[in-house]
Amino acid sequence: MMTQTQTQTQTKTLIVVALLCLFVGCMGPPVIPVSDLTASRSEHSARIVRPGDSLYTIAWQVGLDYRELARWNTLTPPYILSPGQRIRLSPPTVGTRNGQVSSTTKVSVIRSNTPSSQPIAAPAKKESLKKQPAPETMQPRKESASIKKWVWPGEGRVVTRFNLAQDENGINIAGIDGSPVRAAADGKIVYAGTGLRGYGLLLILKHNDTFLSAYAHNRAVMVSEGDQVNAGQVIAEMGQSGAESIQLHFEIRRNGQPVDPQRYLPKK
């Protein structure tokens, strides 16, 4: 038979447990920062294609030049991938032929959890992989001469700046829900969807063989894959898909590696 003190202690314990369960139940899924997204080159040797993947999103995820992936896997434009296909993430070595791994070669394979690409769907969560970008040693103004002009992709204050030391791959521009997102330069839309975890509704724009740019956390998109767009053209509406607040996450990649967008964009 329990004493009054034991009964009181048991009651307090049950109350604490109930409060903890209520607190945990109210917590939503965490928002993973965009800066966690790109894999080290040496972490995996291959990747299994999932529905919604494209050569551009895989290259973006692992921090590689899409042209390298195409060459290593003997792919040609328009780089059509099939679910279940193995994509090499490193150059073919001895024992391979035509980009295919021989039966005697062991390969570390990363299996993507990326959901199907749905251009206007709810945001997906991020592929949490780390990158190891090459040092930014080029002269961006000179190298971007082949691009007619760069323009700011969104109006608003830059709240997060590019900083590779802190794993910030681009800049975040705070704004108003539904405000226009503009193409930073002439180019072609090569990806529109939610297949990259943590970017929300994402657009990737190919400007030329060297430069690509990305526009993340959109509320809606105004273009489709394959569309040609001009610098300054409205391509999306700012939102907070995959983010904790309304913002545009903007990146520029040169040869697959993130570079500081503010070294290319006009001075404000």
Which pLDDT band, with edges at 50, 70 and 90, does 167 fall under? Answer: confident
Cα 8 to Cα 16: distance, rounded to the nearest angstrom = 13
Greater confidence, 15 or 115?
15
Three-state secondary structure readout of the chain? CCCHHHHHHHHHHHHHHHHHHHHHHHCCCCCCCHHHCCCCCCCCCEEECCCCCCHHHHHHHHCCCHHHHHHHCCCCCCCCCCCCCEEECCCCCCCEECCEECCCCCCCEEECCCCCCCCCCCCCCCCCCCCCCCCCCCCHHHHHHHCCCCCCCCCCCEEECCEHHHCECCEEEECCCCCEEECCCCEEEEEEECCCCCCCEEEEEECCCCEEEEEEEEEEECCCCCCEECCCCEEEEEECCCCCCCEEEEEEEECCEEECHHHCCCCC
Instruction: Give the residues across from 257 on adjacent strands.
Output: 254
Cα 32 to Cα 125: distance, rounded to the nearest angstrom = 7
Which residue do the tokens 């990737």 mark? Answer: 204
In a domain, 115, yes or no: no
Instruction: Give the residues across from 109 on adjacent strands.
Output: 46
Q: Residue 135 has what pLDDT? A: 41
In a domain, 147, yes or no: yes
Which pLDDT band, with edges at 50, 70 and 90, does 268 fall under? Answer: confident
In a domain, 122, yes or no: no
In a domain, 44, yes or no: no
Q: Residue 114 has what pLDDT? A: 44
Q: Per-residue pLDDT for 39 more than 50?
A: no
Q: Residue 212 has what pLDDT? A: 97
Count how many domains the chain has: 1
CB of 174 closer than 8 Å to CB of 156: yes
In a domain, 150, yes or no: yes
Q: Residue 12 has what pLDDT? A: 60
In a domain, 71, yes or no: no
Of the listed ranges 1-10, 11-20, 76-85, 116-125, the least confidently predicted one is 116-125
Q: Residue 133 has what pLDDT? A: 44
Q: CATH number for the domain including 160?
A: 2.70.70.10
Q: Per-residue pLDDT for 59 more than 70?
A: yes
Which pLDDT band, with edges at 50, 70 and 90, does 92 fall under? Answer: confident
Greater confidence, 93 or 185?
185
In a domain, 63, yes or no: no
Instruction: Give the residues across from 251 on adjacent strands.
Output: 214
Q: Per-residue pLDDT for 134 more than 90?
A: no
In a domain, 46, yes or no: no
Residue-wise pLDDT for 152-166, tens only, equals 999 999 999 999 888
Question: What number is the average pLDDT over the span 244-251?
Answer: 96
Q: Can you give the residue range of the structural domain that contains 238?
A: 140-263
Q: What percent of the chain has pLDDT over 90?
A: 57
